[in-house]
Structure 1
Amino acid sequence: MADFPRNLPITSPPIRLAVCVSGGGLSLQNLIDLIRAGKLNATISQVIASRPRIGAIARAEAAQIPVVLATRGKSQSLATFSASVFDPIRQAKADLVVLAGFLSLVEIPPDYTGRVINIHPSLIPAFCGKGFHGRSVHQAVIEAGAKVSGCTVHFADMTYDTGPIILQQTVPVLNDDTPERLAARVFEAECQALPEAIALYASGRLQVEGRRVRILDPI
């Protein structure tokens, strides 16, 4: 695993985000709304979509955020695809990359090591890894008889859902839960955890030591 550097404090101007999406864009919309309301000191300088005609693209366009489509062809190498993701991010001078329901694996280039975070709808290391996304995660949680679930924000590395954990929030799994009901409850937790992690990063309060992320006291 790569060594993640301690983040430098970012106070002014607001932290510049690039958000990578593959679906409806609910997490993207949450960030847009928080920024507009003055509750998150950030701007979204670029959105990268891995699929055409998804709801997230419409949300970005409605907010007048530049969108780049980066789809991986069957014969395209991972390195070439990853470059198509990170080249526009680099051009947009993003400080932090947010994988918000981004379903494609990418190689993180050296200049963005420790600058990419992911939000996952379970308590990693449970119910995560390749194939665990969307409804399948919540279905697996219910079938396993778990009493709690939640979400995890973590630094991304070169594999699915294995990077150092920044924040986790728990929610109960109720006796009559369906995957859809549990997903709605987990998403409410995501709407709190993701912007909190971004704010901690922006203020330089995250220190990574091996697989552990320490949240430092405010400076």
Structure 2
Amino acid sequence: MAGLKPAGLKPSGLKLGVLISGRGSNLQALIDACAQPGFPAEIALVLSNKADAYGLERAAKASIATAVVSHRDYPGDKPAFEAAMDAALRGAGVELVCLAGFMRILSPWFVERWQNRLINIHPSLLPSFKGLDTHERAIAAGVRVHGCTVHYVRPAMDEGPIIVQAAVPVLGTDDPHALAERVLEQEHRIYPLAVRLIAEGRVRVDGERVVVEGHVPGTDAALVNPAA
């Protein structure tokens, strides 16, 4: 594991650990949200399995602590790789782990260790189009509505209680890139929303279903189909 790079974080609210592998656009949405006055969470650590992930630069610019735990340092030893990630997260005092383009499948051990404290954002309206190439598959299937989902992570890929979804229309002129860009705009809206709801204590897991307690002004549309 690369050494932790400390940064001056002001203590405020739920401490997040964000796992990335690449450019970190959803990480940036969380950084921007956490910088807003009154937002009930802060990013305690950005952790990547790739030392050249651009998201690490985003974190550094925002004075957020970063760490690299490369899977290549643990060839054939996934338990040791995940144990190192777990140690880094716990060492930073992380309370909620947010997957933001983290391109490694997590083992049941890691998922269960962070049970109901590990969330992901997926570019489809789950349970439809799990896995990769969601936009291509949505267009090929002829669906009229597509979107994105923030959910609690479970051992099976792209499964778990749904916290927030956002829908966008699939247009007749769409190609995968155009559809992806429109969905990404909504990802950047609903990931911070999901974190806010959790940090405010409004999210309760009942079996394998999420119940959002109380009313958050201005979020009704976003929970189903955000307005433009």
- 3-state SS of paired residue (1:103): coil
Deviating runs (4+, > 6 A) in structure 1? Answer: none
User: Is residue 119–residue 190 contact of structure 1 (8 Å, CA) maintained in 2?
Assistant: yes
**Offset at 1:186?**
0.6
| 1:195 partnered with 2:192 | yes
Partner AA of 1:119 in structure 2: I
Match of 2:98 in 1: 98
- 3-state SS of paired residue (1:149): strand
User: Is residue 40–residue 195 contact of structure 1 (8 Å, CA) maintained in 2?
Assistant: no
TM-score, length-normalised on structure 2?
0.83
**Offset at 1:112?**
2.2
Higher-RCO chain (CA-CA 8 Å, sequence separation at least 6) = 1
Identical pairs, percent? 37
Count of aligned pairs: 203
Quote the Cα distance in structure 2 between the aligned partners of 1:156 and 1:93.
Answer: 20
User: Is residue 171–residue 186 contact of structure 1 (8 Å, CA) maintained in 2?
Assistant: yes
| 1:213 partnered with 2:215 | no
**Offset at 1:111?**
4.9
Q: C-alpha root-mean-square deviation of aligned residues, in Å?
A: 1.9
Match of 2:124 in 1: 122
Partner AA of 2:64 in structure 1: I
> Structure 1: which 5+ runs fail to align?
1-11
> Structure 2: which 5+ runs fail to align?
1-10, 217-228
User: Is residue 111–residue 153 contact of structure 2 (8 Å, CA) maintained in 1?
Assistant: no
**Offset at 1:39?**
6.1
Per-residue CA deviation, residues 68-90 of structure 1 (Å, 9 max, x unaligned), is: 11222373332212112211110
TM-score, length-normalised on structure 1?
0.86
- 3-state SS of paired residue (2:17): strand
**Offset at 1:13?**
3.3
Match of 1:179 in 2: 176
Partner AA of 2:86 in structure 1: F
